Amino acid sequence: MGKAPSPSPRHGDPSLQCQYGWQVRRMIEKEAEMRKVAQVQAEAFHEPVIFFNDLFFQFFQAEVLSGLFYRLRKSPPDRYACLLAEPASGSPQEPRQELVGVVDVTVLRDEAVLQHLLGVNEYLYVRQKVASALLKGCDVLSVRWGYHYLALRAYEDDWGARKLYTNAGYRIVSGDPPWMTTWIGRRRRILMIKRSNLGE
């Protein structure tokens, strides 16, 4: 089971999904939008510190933006996408709304994941916490790109995210080994997978 040839351009993809009042689309590769994406991701995952928090946040945001540029430069358009969620607008001519969510989708070949996916050598990996509309966008992208499985990692103690992913069809297949989570402050992650709607 490989990938079906269905390349899509990375620039200006139309909406992938519109549901619950949110539109999910692929990020447009323009610096202003990429900076907004880095801002949203940094705000979601920055761990506040007591001293110099603003300075550390700026460094973290620059690191997130640098990582985004790197992934776009090094990945073919059918192996990496950054999906955005924003309020659904009435017409395509309306200016872009505020971003409310971001998710990275990457094609990977991690053996620790593949052992749970019989008969495939690649899958789509969904990074970051996402809402239902973004998960639907990932489903659409998996069908467009021709991948049979999606995989993500979530924190074991993040019950809200686990419920969201379970309701979207993901199931837990494994977790971080205990020796990886005995470090102070290191939260245990679980691996969740879902079969895509390809071929339905």
Q: Given a cut of 50, is residue 70 above it in pLDDT? A: yes
Q: Which residue has the higher pLDDT, 176 or 182?
A: 176
Secondary structure (3-state) at 125: strand
Residues constituting the chain? 200
Handedness of CA 86, 38, 28, 167 (dihedral sign): negative
- Mean of per-residue pLDDT scores for the chain: 80
pTM over 0.85: no
Q: Which residues fall within 8 angstroms of residue 46, CB to CB, at 6 or more apart? A: 56, 57, 60, 61
CATH superfamily of 15-195: Gcn5-related N-acetyltransferase (GNAT) (3.40.630.30)
E strand segments, the chain? 15-19, 22-26, 80-87, 101-108, 123-127, 149-155, 171-175, 189-195
Q: Given a cut of 50, is residue 5 above it in pLDDT? A: no
What integer is the mean pLDDT of 11-26?
A: 75
Whole-number pLDDT of residue 190: 92
Whole-number pLDDT of residue 1: 36
Q: Where are the domains of the chain?
A: 15-195
Whole-number pLDDT of residue 7: 39
For the stretch 26-52, pLDDT in tens is 998 888 999 999 988 887 766 667 778
Whole-number pLDDT of residue 179: 76
Q: Given a cut of 60, is residue 74 above it in pLDDT? A: yes
Count how many Cα atoms sit within 13 Å of the Cα of residue 71 in the half-sphere of its side chain. 22
Phi, psi dihedral angles at 169 (to 5 degrees): 105, 5
For the stretch 191-200, pLDDT in tens is 999 998 766 6
Active site members: 165
For the stretch 92-141, pLDDT in tens is 545 456 888 888 889 999 898 888 888 888 887 776 544 677 888 888 88
